[in-house]
Amino acid sequence: MFNGKHVIITGGSSGIGLETARLLAARGARLSLLARGRYRLETAAEELRATGAQVDFRAVDVADVAGVTKVLAELGPCDVLVSCAGVARPGRFLELPDDAFRQMIEVDYFGTLNVVRAVVPGMVARRQGSVVAVSSATALLGIYGYSAYGPAKFAVRGLMESLRAELRPHGVHVGVVFPPDVDTPQLAEENRFKPAETFAISGTVKPLPASVVAQAIVAGIEKRRFLICPDLSMKVLARFGSLLAPVLNRYFDGKIARTRSAAA
């Protein structure tokens, strides 16, 4: 279903975005990669072109609505959008700088919204297409240390839930991805700022390879799934999170208390 289709991937120069691009290149998709850093985009494009893939790329900040609109108009009609671009800045609420909260909303939420608004009208007009956005496990349950990042990913979840209902009658598939920690350059950067309490909660779970998340995304598009969960823990949390929240919160509270006690 991807052969000859134009797939636009934001955050396509590394991590989940690049792994998704590799899978779709092997399926014959025509790729357009978007990210902020031109050097990594060029490197990714060269790698994919070496396999015979048709690849274009643009260096653009997804939070820049004018820049996104211009770039996507240049790239032409989009058959599949995979919105992976994002940043995470963990930290304690009382210690995070004001601009961290604004950056998460501008990049993670508005960065998703900007590209979706640019491509969806064309999909609706053609009555076909697929729009997938990467949210986060932190959009399923509030986690210590993610008071800036979590709400932005909750907003992505809310956007996609609304769009699923609105775009379905127009023949457009909408999906949202809920990955846990993923072994990417972004996670390495994120770990520099994680409070000890956050490490206590997430540090015992091995991060997923980005390729596993990419496989789930491709399968989700092929099967036109709304909920795209790369592992069993996310499937359970996505479906039963509201029921499990009291139990999980007590478990996390115990880990946090023990961590703080040890530090004291």
From first to last of the 264 residues of the chain, give the pLDDT tens digit: 899 999 999 999 999 999 999 999 999 999 999 999 999 999 999 999 999 999 999 999 999 999 999 999 999 999 999 999 999 999 999 999 999 999 999 999 999 999 999 999 999 999 999 999 999 999 999 999 999 999 999 999 999 999 999 999 999 999 999 999 999 988 888 989 999 999 998 876 789 999 999 999 999 999 999 999 999 999 999 999 889 999 999 999 999 999 988 877
Query: Distance from CA of residue 86 to its chain's centroid?
Result: 7
Q: Using an 8 Å Cβ cutoff, are 33 and 9 in contact?
A: yes
Q: Specify the pTM.
A: 0.94
Domain ranges of the chain: 6-263
DSSP for residue 93: T
- Cα–Cα distance measured from residue 51 to residue 259, given in angstroms and rounded to the nearest whole number: 48
Tell me the three state secondary structure of residue 172.
strand
Catalytic residue among 13, 32, 130, 135: 135
The torsion defined by the Cα of 193, 196, 197 and 202, in degrees rounded to 10, comes to: 70
Residue type, 141: L
Nearest to residue 82, comparing CAs of 161, 9, 28, 24? 9
User: Is residue 149 annotated as a catalytic residue, yes or no?
Assistant: yes
Task: Give the CATH H-level superfamily of domain 6-263.
Answer: NAD(P)-binding Rossmann-like Domain (3.40.50.720)
Contact 131, 163 (CB under 8 A): yes
Which residue type, as a one-letter code, is found at position 172? V
Catalytic residue among 5, 14, 32, 153: 153
**Catalytic residue selected from 149, 194, 202, 255:** 149
